[in-house]
Amino acid sequence: MFESAADNSSILSIDLGLLIGLLVLRRLLDPLLTRDRILFGLTTGSLLIMYSLWRWHDTLPTFAFSVQNLWQYFFFAFEALAIVYTLMSIVILFRNIDRSGQADDAQKGMQREGDFPAVDIFICTYDEPLEILERSILTALALDYPDATVWVLDDTRRGWLREYCAEAGARYITRGDNKDAKAGNLNNGLAVTAAQTNAPVILVLDALNQLNPAGGSHHLGWFPTFVPTGARLNPSPIFCTAVGETMPVQYIARVRRMGP
């Protein structure tokens, strides 16, 4: 691929320089500004396209119908798919909407009027041990919100978990089978809670997710005030803290119930 050690050294120097340049650019630019996001995205996208052209012209052998030849093109095809996906993501991230002001105003309005929509918090679990589940349950119970109910959706019918929920103050739901896996667990939770709390807002968590108890009412500020007829879920990503890391993996969902 490279004719000499000098070629290898030159390529490594270029790669290192590009990496340092991108890191410096990232520190200098403000991701909240559209022009800065576009500049960084165009720079990164251009480098990806240049890399793709280099891979195609300089690293692939002349095409021939042989296993030794085809596997290299096969590998490049998967690499190209990843690059196309990354380029699409860059274009999508050019546009950004900051709804923090809207959320702040809505939070103040809820506090001023005392109008806090009820929230059901679903914690879906299958076989996680107590040392993991208790973190999710206790942080959900500590959420700074005046009208929230924590429901633990247990899909393995564990008696010790039922007892723990009763002791901690969370509500416990299980079912007789595991039909449709997590989707079935959630549907069962919706049916049970519809007959009890019937909250218009549902927060769905996995057992590994932990909420930040502060600012519960602020999370609801950017929700639309109207849900179209026939709509059941309107999911939007939030950040939850898992064991040892932060990851955007779950959703707050606004549910418009269509009857019992």
* pLDDT, position 200: 83
* pLDDT, position 224: 57
Sorted by where each begins, the domain ranges of the chain are 5-92, 100-254
* pLDDT, position 42: 92
What are the backbone dihedrals phi and psi of residue 242, each rounded to the nearest 5 degrees, phi first? Answer: -90, -175
Residue 76 and residue 56 in contact, taking contact as beta carbons nearer than 8 Å:
yes
pLDDT tens string 50-106? 999 989 988 888 888 888 888 999 999 999 999 999 999 999 888 877 777 877 888
What CA dihedral angle connects 15, 21, 23 and 25, to 10 degrees?
A: -150
* pLDDT, position 233: 47
Q: CB burial class (10 A; 0-12, 13-18, 19+) of residue 12?
A: exposed
Mutual angle of helices 130-141 and 159-168, in 10-degree steps: 30
Q: Is the domain 100-254 a CATH 3.30.420.140 member?
A: no
Question: Taking the CA of residue 139 as centre, how many other CA atoms within 13 Å lie in the half-sphere pointing to its CB?
Answer: 21
User: Which residue positions in the chain have pLDDT lower than 70?
Assistant: 1-8, 215-260
Question: d(Cα 16, Cα 2) in Å, to the nearest integer?
Answer: 17
Question: d(Cα 43, Cα 37) in Å, to the nearest integer?
Answer: 10
Question: d(Cα 108, Cα 106) in Å, to the nearest integer?
Answer: 5
Question: d(Cα 138, Cα 210) in Å, to the nearest integer?
Answer: 9
Q: Which amino acid is at 35?
A: R
Pairing of strands 235-242, 148-154: unpaired
